[in-house]
Chain A
């Protein structure tokens, strides 16, 4: 038990030091990186590690005869969660969301300290001590509280009432409901039944299993399968079209969506909403290929009314590309990210 707890304590200490150093900037803030796509899982894991660490620290301190009052444990735990949300999570989450998480964790901490009568007593003991003020030191503390509390609360309310200019929060529908059909260059495409004409096998038949077997490998780097190089001179069919789609992508799309299709192109930093990150499992991996075709062809200006704010700079690609080129780009995007388009069934 003791060994286990000391390991946990070690994790806790190292974790806190690492986090503090990264926040203050003593060591680079990307020492422990948040990986795209895995971030929520990673954060939950980190928090679990920290809770284990704190348990360990508290156990070790008790064992060393320096028991930490339950009252401060509760407060520190809550403060930690707040700071973690503010400084660790990137990109930053808006205050309103943080406030919600803060309230939830406050309730959780409260439930923890009041789990049974004895704990609850332990928790409120320091408060009672201050109220009773039996010794001189605590009496001074009580007067200090008496003066500081109204000042603090008054200050907070003043701060809340002074006019400020914070960015208004914008909500947007990321994947608006698609229309039943879309008309591009004079031809109507029914989204339910249309297929990418280039997702074909060597016999020239639409074949998703064939193409899925040829996309890049998932896992770090997302590299091409060794025997499926679109730049192979003899590449035929699907792979050849992937290359052609890639050529179009790097002549048109990478400026915003980035060289690695992660939404971090040259111009991306200037725009809001930021360009879609295709390597994120929440974008093209969630959608049918015809949906992408529709969004690419119509762009930001072609978004339906419910998909405001219409601030997207996504071009309506029907103005720049042929239908064939659009299909090839879509093909390439799936190939390069290693995702399979979602099917209707």
Chain B
């Protein structure tokens, strides 16, 4: 009885207080109308989560989160020093993805996971693609996600208070009320002009590949940070597992990214301008040839992978011009790249996370066109301290526990610069390998089952090696190098395009023990390697793909035109037989 009374009294009090507050804030609104950015409205602070929620959240935090975010939430858990981006330091209350104005705390209400009203809940639910923060949907229940956030926002955010009306305000982007402008040609044109006018390109680069003059940027904690590459929208932290949704871009552009050099553009751009820019940025994201978004694998939040790189038959010489019809008409294949984490020195942060591959072949040669995004063109100064054939080069691996100063996130912009490079590894005696036909993954099995490696480097070299094991230095194939050729290589606006041509190989003419024989209609195990010179990549510190298959599309055999006609004719005869039989039977019955 007493309880219910105090509850009622409390409710009454809050209501009264709320009325005063609301009237106050509306008063403020009319007063501050001029200063409120377009598309935003003043919101109310969420109530403090209950003590039960906080206590339950502690249990979630110390099971799942502490490993990266640390005991005090300072982003210094055991995993932090080998991660880039580094795990969030919660103490300052600085959060990247929000609906609130620049510098404000994000939206979080422990009671109400309403879409658009609960930034932190969405971050935990969808994760932050492109970083180590995974999606916790399906792992933690909604309740558990709200609990852990109750704990984080009240106990681990130490310098600010989510419920302090004196110091905190909420100016909320009304994304639900704003209708996107259709991405018409006109809108895209305006967007393309606006990204120059608003100086987006100064950091994000002329083509938006994050290659602007921003390599030494730092975040609020002094860690290296780089502008987003607009062509990989699935890596946008705020993509909410819906990367081609223009609203996510609009939101990030409107609210800015707290703690980073990315400002909010709400004050100096109209809502309409922001939609044009968002349309343009969204348009730049990689797409299928017909303009449709790439299919995204929901379990990885990256484009779906097909492991067959098919090579098309070219008429005559293979063109050295990437803009040539024969190359433009070829379908490209997305090759996912991970860090080489099998042998020392492991590459925990691979800056090249995918390459696009096309291939053409003619009677004598096969050519591969590699295109990959790299914010920096890297060519080593002077001679490298090791031979091109060296595999065990002296590169240091990131120590597991270094503290902030020595962490991988601190020195992303000051590695010794080596050559950007790309290489492909193909199995040599793939026909003799026991099924399934693959040699040992990294640089071949042994002398008996070696691999054929062709490596291009940004210093303009193209070399061919024989690999016989992950720790064995390469063997050079000198006479073979006369036959391989760089058809094209260019770094432009954050993207490398390299076309490499090599002989098809032939059992009779080539040295079969060293070279891969590219046979039509067969699946030839192929691995791709990539090095980013500014990431200090050299030797085994590199990005690697899984095993793909190179497949030379054979011309359609003549049988494919003859047999179907024969079969169709057979079916006609069969039909005739059935019909005659049926009608005879019926006649018999009728008689």
Query: Does A193 sit within 8 A of B, measured CB to CB?
Result: no
Query: Does A96 sit within 8 A of B, measured CB to CB?
Result: no
Instruction: Tell me how far the C-beta of A215 lies from the nearest C-beta in chain B, rounded to whole angstroms.
Output: 11
From the candidates A224, A265, A311, A336, name the one contacting B546 in the complex (CB within 8 A).
A311
Asked if A220 and B571 sit within 8 Å, CB to CB, the answer is no
From the candidates B71, B77, B353, name the one contacting A270 in the complex (CB within 8 A).
B353
Asked if A269 and B302 sit within 8 Å, CB to CB, the answer is yes
Given contacts A131-B578, A170-B436, A258-B134, contact A270 B545 (CB under 8 A): yes
Query: Does A116 sit within 8 A of B, measured CB to CB?
Result: no
Cα-based distance from A278 to B440 in the complex (angstroms): 25
Asked if B338 and A165 sit within 8 Å, CB to CB, the answer is no
Query: Does B59 sit within 8 A of A, measured CB to CB?
Result: yes
Query: Does B568 sit within 8 A of A, measured CB to CB?
Result: yes
Query: Does A64 sit within 8 A of B, measured CB to CB?
Result: no
Cα-based distance from A316 to B440 in the complex (angstroms): 13
Counting residue pairs across A and B whose Cβ atoms lie within 8 Å, the total is 208
Instruction: Mark A residues whose CB is within 8 Å of B.
Output: 29-30, 33, 35-36, 90-91, 128, 131-132, 146, 149-151, 153-155, 157-158, 161-163, 165-168, 170-172, 216, 220-224, 226, 229-231, 246-252, 254-256, 258-260, 262, 264-272, 299-301, 308-316, 319-320, 336
Query: Does B491 sit within 8 A of A, measured CB to CB?
Result: no
Instruction: Tell me how far the C-beta of A118 lies from the nearest C-beta in chain B, rounded to whole angstroms.
Output: 20
Cα-based distance from A262 to B134 in the complex (angstroms): 11
**What 1/0 mask marks residues of chain B from 52 to 85 whose CB sits below 8 Å from any chain A CB?**
0000000110111011100100000111011000
- Helix, strand, loop or mixed for chain A's interface? loop
Instruction: Tell me how far the C-beta of B81 lies from the nearest C-beta in chain A, rounded to whole angstroms.
Output: 8
Asked if B400 and A221 sit within 8 Å, CB to CB, the answer is no
Asked if B138 and A33 sit within 8 Å, CB to CB, the answer is yes
Stretch among B24-32, B179-187, B558-566 lining the A interface: B558-566
Cα-based distance from A36 to B557 in the complex (angstroms): 44
Q: Which residues of B contact A250 (CB under 8 A)?
A: 67-68, 77-79
From the candidates B67, B439, B572, name the one contacting A259 in the complex (CB within 8 A).
B67
| Chain B stretch 533-549: residues in CB contact (< 8 A) with chain A | 544-547, 549
Asked if B308 and A165 sit within 8 Å, CB to CB, the answer is yes
Q: Which residues of A contact B139 (CB under 8 A)?
A: 221, 260, 262
Cα-based distance from A153 to B579 in the complex (angstroms): 18
Asked if B338 and A271 sit within 8 Å, CB to CB, the answer is yes
| Chain B stretch 343-360: residues in CB contact (< 8 A) with chain A | 343-344, 346, 348, 350, 353
Q: Which residue of A lies closest to B141 (CB)?
A: A220
Given contacts A226-B59, A259-B132, A264-B300, contact A221 B342 (CB under 8 A): no
Query: Does B249 sit within 8 A of A, measured CB to CB?
Result: no
Given contacts A155-B564, A272-B546, contact A221 B401 (CB under 8 A): no
Q: Which residues of A contact B336 (CB under 8 A)?
A: 269-270
Cα-based distance from A267 to B130 in the complex (angstroms): 10
| Chain B stretch 300-328: residues in CB contact (< 8 A) with chain A | 300, 302, 305-308, 310
Q: Which residues of B contact A262 (CB under 8 A)?
A: 139
Asked if A266 and B132 sit within 8 Å, CB to CB, the answer is yes
Q: Which residues of A contact B341 (CB under 8 A)?
A: 255-256, 267, 313, 315
From the candidates B67, B133, B344, B559, name the one contacting A161 in the complex (CB within 8 A).
B559
From the candidates B63, B435, B554, name the one contacting A224 in the complex (CB within 8 A).
B63
Query: Does B297 sit within 8 A of A, measured CB to CB?
Result: yes
Q: Which residues of B contact A168 (CB under 8 A)?
A: 436, 523, 549
Asked if B134 and A264 sit within 8 Å, CB to CB, the answer is yes
Q: Which residues of B contact A311 (CB under 8 A)?
A: 438, 441, 546-547
Cα-based distance from A251 to B82 in the complex (angstroms): 7
Q: Which residues of B contact A270 (CB under 8 A)?
A: 336-338, 353, 544-546
Cα-based distance from A265 to B436 in the complex (angstroms): 26
From the candidates B298, B300, B436, B564, name the one contacting A30 in the complex (CB within 8 A).
B298
Asked if B64 and A314 sit within 8 Å, CB to CB, the answer is no
Q: Which residues of A contact B389 (CB under 8 A)?
A: none
Instruction: Tell me how far the C-beta of A326 lies from the nearest C-beta in chain B, rounded to whole angstroms.
Output: 15
Q: Which residue of B lies closest to A229 (CB)?
A: B62
Q: Which residues of A contact B310 (CB under 8 A)?
A: 165
Q: Which residues of B contact A271 (CB under 8 A)?
A: 338, 546
Q: Which residues of B contact A309 (CB under 8 A)?
A: 436-438, 547
Query: Does B243 sit within 8 A of A, measured CB to CB?
Result: no
Cα-based distance from A171 to B523 in the complex (angstroms): 16
Instruction: Tell me how far the C-beta of A95 lies from the nearest C-beta in chain B, rounded to whole angstroms.
Output: 14
Asked if B77 and A272 sit within 8 Å, CB to CB, the answer is no
From the candidates A151, A153, A259, A272, name the one contacting B134 in the complex (CB within 8 A).
A259
